[in-house]
Amino acid sequence: MPTRREWIAAAAGLAAAIPARSASAAPPVAIARCPDYGSALFPTLSRMMDQLGGLGALVRNKTVSVKLNLTGSPRERMGTTPAERAQYTHPAVIGSMVRLLSEAGARRVRLLECAFSCGEPLEEFLYDAGWDPLALLNAGARVEMENTNVTGRGRRYHRLMAPTPGYLYDGFDLNHAYDECDVMVSISKLKEHATCGITLGMKNMFGITPVTIYGDHAGKDEPAAEALSGRGAIFHSGRRQPSASAPQEKASSGPKDDKWRVPRIVVDICAARPLHLNVIDGIATMAGGEGPWNRGVRPVEPGLLIAGFGMVETDAAGTALMGFDPMAKRGQAPFENCDSTLELAEARGLGTRDLARMDIRGGRVEDLRFRFRA
């Protein structure tokens, strides 16, 4: 089976030997009810992977990189709700997926995140959240962790260029683990987002960009030695360019408005580093925003899991399960004040957001829907 990245390359005519998907053959998406992170979780995820056709063909003897969603400080909570039941991917989902990937024959699994405002080992970041990283490292045969804000085990940052021109960026300099892998997986959280309306698998990839290059304290010419701060100055507001050593933002007549910019940058990132597998944890999460720092957020328990090989399709299914129309445009929920990442990704050729063209397995959206704005 061609990988997603190969498919995009093929579509751009850059890998003629690899057949492109036809527009009508949208990759399937599996959806399921899962009430909690207990004993039902692993069999549910396992069944979903089977519904997708199995993981073996995708990961056997491959290096698999897994981007987690650990946004914000591990010490910050929405009220008394632990991060894993609100803004962070739950470790039980991560561990279950590591086990499934490993059992499907993955040679190596790397768990990755640009940990909030720091360059410390990811394991230590997890301890700070009260998690036990050893449980994740022992969930599969050869599991590693890396904080991708810094070069980590690589000696340098790696450049990933999209096969087609981007909206604002044609490529990015990233930690080696996003390049030195055969399969790219996102395990994100089902959430709304203050800037992008929703944050699922694709928006999760915004967090693969190292703050040493794309953060507010990024070096001017070269990546900063220390990883600090968020990505406000460069990505959100466009007040400055990333470190000069990295691909620069292209000239644009677009507004310096993060609700216009960030959806486009997300799509640019996903084009440069496409996902092969998109898993979304919607069992216990939050509504009203992506983190405790948003006003009016609240804990919710949709009891949902979503997974698929197509990043746009999977996010579209997740959007529908949240009670939104994935075909919505700017001005319509959940994109009242921002552009739709789904629409931009579809226009970029990354997949379809049209549920009518999608093959959704495991249940019907209308039966499982959990309205985030009930």
Minimum distance of other proteins from residue 72's CB (angstroms): 5
197 scored as a contact of other proteins (CB under 8 A)? no
The answer to whether 15 and 346 have CB atoms below 8 angstroms apart is no
Residue 121, Cβ density class (10 Å: 0-12 exposed, 13-18 middle, ≥19 buried): middle
Handedness of CA 76, 78, 80, 83 (dihedral sign): negative
241 scored as a contact of other proteins (CB under 8 A)? no
273 scored as a contact of other proteins (CB under 8 A)? no
Please list every residue from 46 through 85 that binds other proteins, using CB under 8 A: 72-73, 75-80, 82, 84
Give the separation between CA 240 and CA 242, rounded to whole angstroms.
Answer: 7
Number of residues engaging other proteins in binding (CB under 8 A): 34
Residue 43, Cβ density class (10 Å: 0-12 exposed, 13-18 middle, ≥19 buried): exposed
331 scored as a contact of other proteins (CB under 8 A)? no
Look at residue 42 and give its three-state secondary structure.
Answer: helix
Q: Which of 46, 63, 117, 164 binds other proteins (CB under 8 A)?
A: 117
Minimum distance of other proteins from residue 311's CB (angstroms): 23
Q: Which of 127, 257, 325, 357 binds other proteins (CB under 8 A)?
A: 127
Minimum distance of other proteins from residue 135's CB (angstroms): 9
Lay out the site mask for other proteins across 200-219 (x = CB under 8 A, - = otherwise): ----------------x---
42 scored as a contact of other proteins (CB under 8 A)? no
Q: Residue for token digits 């959240």?
A: 129
Minimum distance of other proteins from residue 75's CB (angstroms): 5
Please say which residue, 43 or 130, places its beta carbon nearer to other proteins.
Answer: 130
Please choose, from the candidates 96, 60, 66, 32, the residue with its C-alpha nearest in 3D space to the C-alpha of residue 303.
32
Please choose, from the candidates 207, 202, 204, the residue with its C-alpha nearest in 3D space to the C-alpha of residue 174.
207
Cis amide linkage into residue 302, ω under 30° from 0: no
Please choose, from the candidates 81, 121, 113, 14, the residue with its C-alpha nearest in 3D space to the C-alpha of residue 287.
81
Lay out the site mask for other proteins across 288-317 (x = CB under 8 A, - = otherwise): ---xxx------------------------
Minimum distance of other proteins from residue 152's CB (angstroms): 10
Look at residue 110 and give its three-state secondary structure.
Answer: strand
Q: Which of 19, 130, 255, 331 binds other proteins (CB under 8 A)?
A: 130
22 scored as a contact of other proteins (CB under 8 A)? no
For residue 88, give the amino acid letter: Y
128 scored as a contact of other proteins (CB under 8 A)? yes
Q: Which stretch binds other proteins (CB under 8 A): 42-50, 59-67, 130-138, 175-183?
A: 130-138
Q: Give the HSE-up count for residue 20: Cα atoms under 13 Å, Cβ half-sphere.
A: 15
Please say which residue, 42 or 127, places its beta carbon nearer to other proteins.
Answer: 127
Q: What angle do CA 147, 153, 155 make, to 5 degrees?
A: 115
233 scored as a contact of other proteins (CB under 8 A)? yes
Using CB under 8 A, list all residues that contact other proteins. Answer: 72-73, 75-80, 82, 84, 91, 116-117, 120-121, 124, 127-132, 216, 228-233, 236-237, 291-293
